[in-house]
Structure 1
Amino acid sequence: MKTKKMLLIVIIVAVLGVSWLLAIRTASGIEVIKEQRNLVKEADELAARKIYVRAIDLYKEALAQDSKLTTEIQAKLLVSYQGYEDMNSYVKLVEQRNLAGTATEEEYWNAAAYYARRSKWSEAVTLLKAGIEKTGSQYLADYLEEIRYPYKAKVTRYQQILPSADNSRMAAFDGVKWGYIDGGGSDVLDFIYDSATPYGSGGFAVVSIDGTYYAILSNGDWYGADDGTTYDRMTDVLGVSGKRILGKRGDTYSYYDYDFAPIAENYQFDRMSGNACGVAAVSKGGKWGIIKDSGETVVDYILEDVAVNSLGNAFAGNRAMVKENGAWYLVDTEGNRVSENSYADAKAPESDGYIAVADATGRWGYIDREGNMVIDYQYSDAKSFSNHLGAVKSVNEWGYISEKNKMIIEENYEDAMPFHNGIAQAKLTDSVALLTLKYFEE
């Protein structure tokens, strides 16, 4: 009887021991890993025979439970997705591995290339940036530079197109009259004007017909007329800055409203820029100064010159290029020199990007907004960066480079304007081409 009891106790202990061992094995994932290895082995054999459809199912079954083998199995699954040409699933898994921090350089490249082939530029750029951050790969950085500026060029029938911050209405000249076109180059307002300005942020532009200036709405309706009824007619209009017309009446320029009535009669200038960043450049007696929007003087009339950009403004990105004592300097909106570096020549900033400057030999390069040299003097001409691209001229023709000094748009143009809101105007022999970035960052 005692023997039977002892035997029963031994059996119970053995069962408990086995259960305990099984629990340990399960808790440690040993059985999971063993099962995964078996599934992976079978999947590997199928993948080697290019029977990807079955291999993929087995890899996915193995991934149903997470373990230390998960990353390795995912990598094998990615190879089978490629073999099976299921790049949609490949990309989804790479995105998942990106979040987990396990994606490889090659995986980032393959997924970004897939996005690029389908013109999903934003997705490609975002993924590459993540890959560069996590892997430090120069290979990915070079590829990002290669694909991040896709563009299309459309040759138009126009001889001139004026840059505009809002590309929904761009003033264009057809060789006889001015009109307005949209960002795609299609006519939006008839070509009936003798002159035309870009639209300002207030939604108005100024055009002239038979010697009379008119303020027009976005649909072309006349809003105000400078017809001599109340004031002498203007002799020139520089453009529209915000809600103000920059016009010349008599011998000087000043600010006017959309009825061509003076806004600030005490402020009369020989020349003036548009207001941007809260300030404007103005000229009197052959010298330039800087004033705030309120009219308060920031820099008195001591400057020899101030560069003005393609939008008619001296300032962009809170910086301007001014000339004093024969040299050009970078200044902020308070008129303070950002650095003591000086330049033989300079172009106005177009954005908060790199600024074109020249040395005494006439070669052009670029500085950043702190005055640091970022692209050495090497071009025969250049214009400041906007939308991360800068127009440059090596010998006789213009093209566009990136911030890494890589030629993005080949030098095929007689002239090239800066990009604004993803669109630039480039001059051909008999017409202007509209260059449109398919992807760009503000």
Structure 2
Amino acid sequence: MRGTKTIVAAGIIVFFAFAWYTLFSNSTRLQKEYESCLADARQKMEMGITKDATDQYMKALSMYESLDLRLEIAEYYYKTGQYDNYDEWCHTLMAKYPRKKEGYEKMASYYQETEDYYECYDILNAAAQRKLKSEQLSKIQQNIYYKYELKKVSLEAYKIYSSGYYAVKKEEKNWGYCDARGDNKIAYNYAEAQCFTSSGLAPVKSMDGEFYLIDKDGNKKYVDIEKKKIEECSPLSEDKMAVKIDGRYCYVDVNFKKQFGDYDYATAFNNGVAAVKEGQNWFIINKNGEKIQEQAYQNVIIDEKQVAFRNSCAFVQINDTYRMINTKGEQVGDQAWEDAKLFLSDLPACVKSQGRWGFVDANGQWVIKPSYLDAKPFTNGLAPVRTDSGWGYIDLEQKEQVIPCEFDDAGNFNDGGCAWVMKEGRWNMLFLYRLNKR
């Protein structure tokens, strides 16, 4: 019995030894064949025999799947100018190894090189979603952060972006409305058009001279049933509009019924206050039409939306210089400037000092010292500035030029990453790739 067990044990040892030997021999043979395929593929690549090189690479991959080999094959496609295959292969690589950064690096680098920035951002965003980081991906992101595309729209004029819409005047057409990307949303049917506000309404003037309010679908919502001869109408803000009738300004409600006022000029309400002109003097009034104080000003800065206050601040002229005040009429800080442009958000406004424009915060403190020939306030982290070369954009964080000064004029960026820029007398839309899709 003991002899039988000994024979069985010896047989098992021999069996495993033979199996190990066979496995080792097969593995060695497969490794040699793999290395031979790779050597042949590389040689064929150098000789320009791409069909055979591809076949040998695929044969090698069928033997041993690895990230390194897939990266080498990608490099082979790129070096031999097989760019469609390279594109497809890198996408396959990312699908096969979604948690490895190398595929994303190759694809993002390729799209940056070919200036396909929409695709490049798709890759960068996919990598970010998988929390993949690398120095190369960060560098690509930095290099293309302010790359843009110009969309030809050819506008004659536009008004400030507000509540998702621009009032725009198309070349050889009337006024209408477009969205943040410059796509027409309300037909060009109006002689005049004002901004939409948070009310969802905007005043327009028909070709027959009638003012009324429309909604964002272009439907007529409120009309002047008294049929007053309105000459001008501000946007509807805080339930009031400033209108001009027979050369004088007053405030009306949404139904165009007079509330109060008889002024030489009146701005729209914002932050609970408005500016009105009586004779040569300007005053600040509350929503009841009462002056918040008797202080008179030589002038008040008014923006395209016809408001004098934003960010609870206004710029008023006293003794031939501009100063910042709050909604109580109190001066903010002790600075005085030659000129100013109103805040468009909680980001810095621009002011002029010693013939140059710079930027200040809501406390009147310098954020960027004056150095530009002209400027417009910051919105969404960017501000238009003019140099000897033309208009371009600076970044608030970097405080330096990030989009070249190569335009005849430039508007503010909206929250969709778009801005109107002028070339050869017409306004067209600039898109930042990182904030837009194809």
TM-score by length of 1: 0.67
1:176-195 superposed matches below 5 A: 178-180=174-176, 182=178, 183-184=182-183, 188-190=187-189, 193=191, 195=192
- Residues in 2 aligned to 1:59 and 1:351: alpha-carbon distance in whole angstroms: 60
1:19-38 superposed matches below 5 A: none
Alignment match of 1:238 (pick from 212, 234, 237): 234
Partner of 1:46: 41
Residue 382 in structure 1 maps to residue 375 in structure 2 = yes
- Secondary structure at 1:150 match in 2: strand
- Residues in 2 aligned to 1:343 and 1:34: alpha-carbon distance in whole angstroms: 85
- Residues in 2 aligned to 1:302 and 1:187: alpha-carbon distance in whole angstroms: 43
1:420-431 superposed matches below 5 A: 420=414, 421=416, 423-427=418-422, 431=425
- Residues in 2 aligned to 1:253 and 1:126: alpha-carbon distance in whole angstroms: 52
Opposite residue 195 of structure 2, the aligned amino acid is: P
- Secondary structure at 2:204 match in 1: strand
- Secondary structure at 1:107 match in 2: helix
Alpha carbons 1:423, 1:434 under 8 Å: kept: no
Alpha carbons 1:105, 1:140 under 8 Å: kept: no
Name structure 2 gaps, 5 residues minimum.
Answer: none
Alpha carbons 2:356, 2:372 under 8 Å: kept: yes
In the superposition, relative to structure 1, how do residues 228 and 6 fare at CA in structure 2: closer, same or farther (>3 Å)? closer
Opposite residue 107 of structure 1, the aligned amino acid is: K
Partner of 2:194: 197
Alpha carbons 1:310, 1:417 under 8 Å: kept: no
Percent of aligned pairs sharing the same letter: 16
Residue 347 in structure 1 maps to residue 306 in structure 2 = no
Alpha carbons 1:40, 1:58 under 8 Å: kept: no
In the superposition, relative to structure 1, how do residues 267 and 139 fare at CA in structure 2: closer, same or farther (>3 Å)? farther
Partner of 1:360: 353
In the superposition, relative to structure 1, how do residues 271 and 168 fare at CA in structure 2: closer, same or farther (>3 Å)? closer
Can you list the C-alpha shifts for 1:318-342, whole angstroms capped at 9, x where unaligned? 57565698665698x99999x9695
Partner of 1:172: 169
- Secondary structure at 1:236 match in 2: strand
In the superposition, relative to structure 1, how do residues 154 and 314 fare at CA in structure 2: closer, same or farther (>3 Å)? same
Alpha carbons 1:349, 1:384 under 8 Å: kept: yes
1:262-273 superposed matches below 5 A: 262=258, 265=260, 271-273=266-268
- Residues in 1 aligned to 2:56 and 2:309: alpha-carbon distance in whole angstroms: 61
Alpha carbons 1:207, 1:214 under 8 Å: kept: yes
User: What is the deviation of 1:238?
Assistant: 1.8
Residue 73 in structure 1 maps to residue 69 in structure 2 = yes
In the superposition, relative to structure 1, how do residues 171 and 63 fare at CA in structure 2: closer, same or farther (>3 Å)? same
- Secondary structure at 1:89 match in 2: helix
Residue 416 in structure 1 maps to residue 410 in structure 2 = yes
Partner of 2:9: 9
- Residues in 2 aligned to 1:346 and 1:72: alpha-carbon distance in whole angstroms: 60
- Secondary structure at 1:418 match in 2: coil
In the superposition, relative to structure 1, how do residues 288 and 406 fare at CA in structure 2: closer, same or farther (>3 Å)? same
Residue 214 in structure 1 maps to residue 227 in structure 2 = no
1:106-185 superposed matches below 5 A: 107=106, 109-113=108-112, 116-117=115-116, 119-120=118-119, 122-123=121-122, 126=125, 134-137=133-136, 139-147=139-147, 149-156=148-155, 158=156, 160-165=157-162, 170-172=167-169, 178-180=174-176, 182=178, 183-184=182-183
Alpha carbons 1:343, 1:359 under 8 Å: kept: no
- Secondary structure at 1:103 match in 2: helix
Alpha carbons 2:356, 2:371 under 8 Å: kept: yes
Partner of 1:434: 428
Alpha carbons 1:164, 1:198 under 8 Å: kept: yes
Alpha carbons 1:122, 1:439 under 8 Å: kept: yes
Opposite residue 392 of structure 1, the aligned amino acid is: V
Partner of 2:243: 247
User: What is the deviation of 1:8?
Assistant: 3.8
Opposite residue 34 of structure 2, the aligned amino acid is: L
User: What is the deviation of 1:207?
Assistant: 1.2
- Secondary structure at 2:377 match in 1: coil
Alpha carbons 1:417, 1:426 under 8 Å: kept: yes
- Secondary structure at 2:122 match in 1: helix
In the superposition, relative to structure 1, how do residues 106 and 216 fare at CA in structure 2: closer, same or farther (>3 Å)? closer
Cα RMSD after superposing both structures: 5.2
Partner of 1:67: none
Query: How many positions carry a matched residue from both structures?
Result: 408
User: What is the deviation of 1:370?
Assistant: 9.3
- Residues in 2 aligned to 1:342 and 1:61: alpha-carbon distance in whole angstroms: 74
In the superposition, relative to structure 1, how do residues 245 and 327 fare at CA in structure 2: closer, same or farther (>3 Å)? closer
- Residues in 1 aligned to 2:128 and 2:370: alpha-carbon distance in whole angstroms: 29
- Secondary structure at 2:234 match in 1: strand
Alpha carbons 1:206, 1:213 under 8 Å: kept: yes
- Residues in 1 aligned to 2:64 and 2:305: alpha-carbon distance in whole angstroms: 57
- Secondary structure at 1:100 match in 2: coil
User: What is the deviation of 1:350?
Assistant: 3.2
Alpha carbons 1:272, 1:281 under 8 Å: kept: no
TM-score by length of 2: 0.68
Opposite residue 245 of structure 1, the aligned amino acid is: M
Opposite residue 412 of structure 2, the aligned amino acid is: P
Name structure 1 gaps, 5 residues minimum.
Answer: 65-69
